[in-house]
Structure 1
C-alpha cells in the first residue's frame, strides 16, 4: 500500500518572510488548490505535500508624553505558495483537504490571537504584552499543527482526519467574531 504523507511547514514570518513574497490570505470561502503549491518538491521524502503557512502580525502604538494611549494591531493567516509544494503523481483531493486544514488551523490561531488582543488593557508595557501574545500564539500553532499530523498520521488515519476536520470547524465557529475578512 502506498503510504501517503504530508508535512506542515510552520514559518516564522519575522525570520523567513520578505516584503516582496507572494502570499495568499485566508478567506472563509476560498480554498487552496494544487495550483497554489508552486515550490519545488523535496527529494528523498515520503511526503506528498508541504503547506507553508503562518501568522503575520504587526501593531503600532500611539503615545502621548511617553505614555501609551492607544494601539492598533493587524493579524493575518497567510499561505506561502513558493514554499509550499506537492508531488503531482501522488497527490489527490483527500491530501489537498489535509493541507487545507493546516491553513485553517493557522486561521484558528489568528482568531484566537485577535480575541486575546481584544482583551488587552492599554498600559506602558503594551509592546511586551503584544510580543508575548504573538510568540505564545506561534508556539501553540506549531504544537497543534504537529499534533494534527501525528494524530492523523499525516492524513493516513482517516478516522482521525475526520475528527480533526470537525474539531477545527467547531473552533473556527467558536471564534467567528474574529475571522479574517472575506
Structure 2
C-alpha cells in the first residue's frame, strides 16, 4: 500500500500541473449585421486534449521548463458558445442558426528570449446549418493561425489572442454567408416555381399550343394511312424545362411548359379534311393542355422541397403523362374515334368548360 501511494505521488509530481482555466472575453465584432447565430457547439477534436499548453509563470529553480495544460472555463463547447453569443452583434437575430464544429483548437507555447513565452494558435472550425426541412448541411470551414509573445507573469495576452483568433472565424463565416446567400442552393429555405408556356410558332415541324393558333389541316404533313378506322390522327404531348436560380434564400424555379404536336407525325386521310374531323383532332390537343394545367397546380410551392424539388417535379410529370394517355384513350373510346356525334358534342362542351375554368380561353369562347 505504501509503495502504491509512493508511485502515485511520484506520478503527480512528474506530470505538469494544470493551469487555471482560460477565460474567453467578448470582443468588439467589427462587422454587422450578424447573419447567423451559434445555436450549438460540438467539440470534435480527436481525444479532446487540453486546449492550451502554457509555460508556467515561475518554474522551480533547477527544473526544466514544462508547459502546463490549461482548459477553457466551463469547457470548450460552452465557452465558445458563450463567446459567440456575447460577441456577435446583439441588435439582430441570426437568420441562420449554426452548429459550430470545433475540429482543432490549440495553443502551444515555447520559451522565448529573456524568459518570455512565444505562443502559436491553430484553429479549424466547421459551420453546419440545419435547414427548415430538418437536414443538416455542411456549409464551409475555416482555418486560422496566430502568434503572440508574452511575459510569463501575464496570461491576458493568451486570452486576448485566442479571442481574436475565434473572432476571425466568426467574421470569415459572416462574410461567406453574405456572398453565398445570393446563389448557394444549400442556403435556400423554400422553392418558388414560376411557369410560362412556349408558344413559339417558328419551328418548322413543331406546333406549340396557343389558343390563338389552333390546328389547321396544313399542320398534318405526315403520310396518310392507307387503311384504318380513323380519318386523321394527331399525337400531341407535353414536356418541361427548368432553370433554377437562388434569390434571397429562395430557389426560384423557372419552368417552361411545352405542349406540342409534331407535324410530320400527324396525318389525314384523303377526302377527310372536314371541320368536324379537325375539331376532333383539336380536342386531343386541348386535352394535353388541360393535363399541363393540372400539372402546374400539382407542383406549387407547398409541394416542392429544397432537397428534392427536381425529383418531385419529375414524379408529378410522369403521373401527369399517364393521366394524359388515359384521357386520350377514354376520349377516343367514348367518341368512337369521333364517329359518335352526340358523344363528341359532350366532350366538346366538357373540354371547353375546363379550358375556360383554367383561363386558357375566355368566357363565351
Q: Aligned match of 1:130 in 307, 313, 334?
A: 313
Residue by residue over 1:85-104, the C-alpha shift from the partner in whole angstroms, topping out at 9 and shown as x without a partner, is 00122331111110011111
- Deviation, 1:74, is 1.2
Is 2:224–2:270's contact at 8 Å kept on the other side of the alignment? no
* Partner residue, 1:84: 266
Aligned position for 1:4: none
Question: Secondary structure at 2:252's aligned position in 1?
Answer: strand
* SS in structure 2 at match of 1:172: helix
* Alignment partner, residue 347 of structure 2: 164
TM-score by length of 1: 0.78
Please tell me whether residue 55 in structure 1 is matched to residue 238 in structure 2: yes
Pick aligned residue for 2:326 from 110, 123, 143:
143
Q: Tell me, what secondary structure is at the counterpart of 1:128?
A: helix
CA shift digits 1:93-132 (9 cap, x unpaired): 1111100111111111111112222343342111110001
Q: CA deviation at 1:56?
A: 2.1
SS of the residue aligned with 1:153?
A: helix
Give the match's secondary structure for 1:88.
coil
Greater relative CO, 1 or 2 (CA 8 Å, sep 6+): 1
- Provide the aligned length of Structure 1 versus Structure 2: 157
Residues 37 and 80 (structure 1 numbering): CA distance in 2 closer, same or farther, change over 3 Å? same
User: Any residues of structure 2 matched to 1:65-104 within 5 Å, and which?
Assistant: 69-104=251-286
Alignment of 1:105 with 2:287, yes or no, is yes
Counterpart residue number, 1:174: 357
Residue equivalent to 1:6: none
1:43 positional shift: 2.8
Pairwise CA RMSD of aligned residues? 2.2
Alignment of 1:4-83 (within 5 A): 22-62=205-245, 69-83=251-265
Offset of residue 68 of structure 1? 8.0
| Structure 2 gaps, min length 5 | 1-202
SS of match in other structure, 1:154:
helix
Counterparts of 1:63 and 1:26 in 2: how far apart (Å)?
A: 30
Bigger Rg, which one: 2
How big is the shift at 1:157? 0.9
Relative to the length of structure 2, the TM-score reads 0.40
Secondary structure of the 1:73 match is strand
- Structure number with higher strand proportion: 2
Which structure has more helix as a fraction of its residues?
Answer: 1
Displacement of 1:63 after TM fit?
6.2
Deviation at 1:174, TM superposition (A): 1.6
Q: Does 2:336 correspond to 1:153?
A: yes
Residue 42 of structure 1, CA deviation: 2.2
Question: In structure 2, how many angstroms separate the alpha carbons of the residues matched to 1:88 and 1:68?
Answer: 55
Counterpart of 1:10 in structure 2 is none
Runs of at least 4 residues off by over 4 Å: none
